Chain A
């Protein structure tokens, strides 16, 4: 479950004017196994809201609960272990440039100290899913934007997270790839993963009519 209660976010070093608040009084709840689109114009605060969910920022005010844990109440160690249960597709991918595609995707499993046999089986399977089984040994700088995005998606889901957070995951994909991605994400969702996807892609939102959270100027203007 993901629950926000009157959450405010102000970036450090930002000036103190009210406009400097990236998020203002956000409250919502996503039930376990739920799916939400997160929409809104550029600069509305979508990435900021997702960062709070995947524990990359602390709110200035308010209460955040992620997968049963109060974000403000957990130790650094607990936060790290909680992050392992959250799959994240970053807007800018964040692949490690020194590792090839296989090792990038394997990273979350290796951090969780899974056996190499398990790593191999799961990484191979997920790379086939995203259609990059033939690009195992390519480094990120040898991959196209769309391929990098698919690797980032594979890395986010390989460890079967309880919560999947994706920031504009179809930004670099053509329609067919976006369609494949939605098949993967809805399959995971059906298996019980809670999903939240920020997107600009209105066509996709229309084709998959899940409930929608909508932001404008850091405020939640639509929930449902």
Chain B
């Protein structure tokens, strides 16, 4: 009984009972959770796609059966020797004639060989080097002039640019959402101050410190923001789980499993949102009240 009175010395519970504050903060948290989920999904998908694309290496050897530059066997054999000793190149395989035919059939008809074209040999492999494959390309061209080396780097760059811009959007959403939450808390606090104007005048006159008064409002704001935000975040979880389920085929079963198998980073970040909301509530209420108290002598 006494503890309750002490806890609510100013009757703030009645003045700051504003149902709008938790509801709006909850809505902001809902949006923030989706933004965080989106940003993380981007990062996960991008990481998996980028890995695959970046590593893909395609090597075309024209006139594969002509002698090589050193006159030491066929050009194809020279390229294969060079690839075999390069530690950055793994899993090289010559594309079979059947596979080549399947790939070019849409353009050249089903039996390209009958056209008498001399098709290049195509070797696919995985690039596991750190940097670009330019050096490899120079080396292969020396062994077999006209050899082309293509990596997925350009695609990887495009995926990376897309991811970065999507993440920037998510960050902008988070910022706007945080600002709106702060504005909501500031408005609610100001209305509470106006309602309690005489009480605060009196308590100030009785020797309450600015920090006493601001602290009481800030504590109240923490609980309201925390409650609202927890609600909003909880409501966002099924939505996030559904999105994760939609994304599962793209990221592979190893990364996203069952319905509630959200990415671990999300499970860490999303519970932080109510904490952030509480912090925003506390800081905003403190600043608002202290600013307002400056009008008192």
| Mutual binders A and B | yes
**Using a CB–CB distance below 8 Å, which chain A residues touch chain B?**
54-58, 76-77, 79-86, 88, 94, 96, 98-99, 103, 106-108, 110-112, 116, 155
Contact flags B267-285 to A (C-beta < 8 A → 1, else 0): 0000000000000000000
Is B2 within 8 A of A111, CB to CB? no
B11, B14, B210, B212: the one within 8 Å of A111 (CB): B212
The reply on B116 being an interface residue by CB < 8 A is no
Is A94 within 8 A of B198, CB to CB? yes
Is B6 within 8 A of A116, CB to CB? yes
Please classify how large the interface on chain B is, using the bins under 10, 10 to 19, 20 to 34, 35 or more: 20 to 34
A82 smallest CB distance to B (angstroms): 8
Q: Is the interface of B mostly helix, strand, loop or mixed?
A: helix
Is B207 within 8 A of A96, CB to CB? no
Is A111 within 8 A of B208, CB to CB? yes
Q: With A103-B5, A111-B212 in contact, is A98–B11 under 8 Å at CB?
A: yes
A109 smallest CB distance to B (angstroms): 10
The reply on B297 being an interface residue by CB < 8 A is yes
Is A81 within 8 A of B207, CB to CB? yes
A85 to B201, CA, bound (A): 17
Chain B residues near A111 (CB-CB < 8 A):
9, 203, 206-208, 212
A79, A83, A116: the one within 8 Å of B206 (CB): A83
Is A58 within 8 A of B198, CB to CB? no
The reply on B65 being an interface residue by CB < 8 A is no
The residue among A58, A77, A106, A107 with the most chain B CB atoms within 10 A of its own CB is A107
Query: Can you list 29 A-B contacts with CB-CB less than 8 angstroms, sorted by A residue number?
Result: A55-B297, A56-B205, A56-B297, A57-B297, A77-B209, A79-B297, A80-B207, A80-B209, A80-B210, A81-B207, A83-B206, A83-B207, A85-B207, A88-B205, A88-B206, A94-B198, A94-B201, A94-B202, A96-B199, A96-B202, A96-B203, A98-B14, A98-B199, A99-B5, A103-B5, A111-B203, A111-B207, A111-B208, A111-B212
Contact flags B10-41 to A (C-beta < 8 A → 1, else 0): 11001000000000000000000000000000
A76, A103, A155: the one within 8 Å of B210 (CB): A76
Chain B residues near A98 (CB-CB < 8 A):
10-11, 14, 199
Is A58 within 8 A of B9, CB to CB? no
Closest partner residue, chain A, to B206 (CB atom): A108
A155 to B203, CA, bound (A): 12
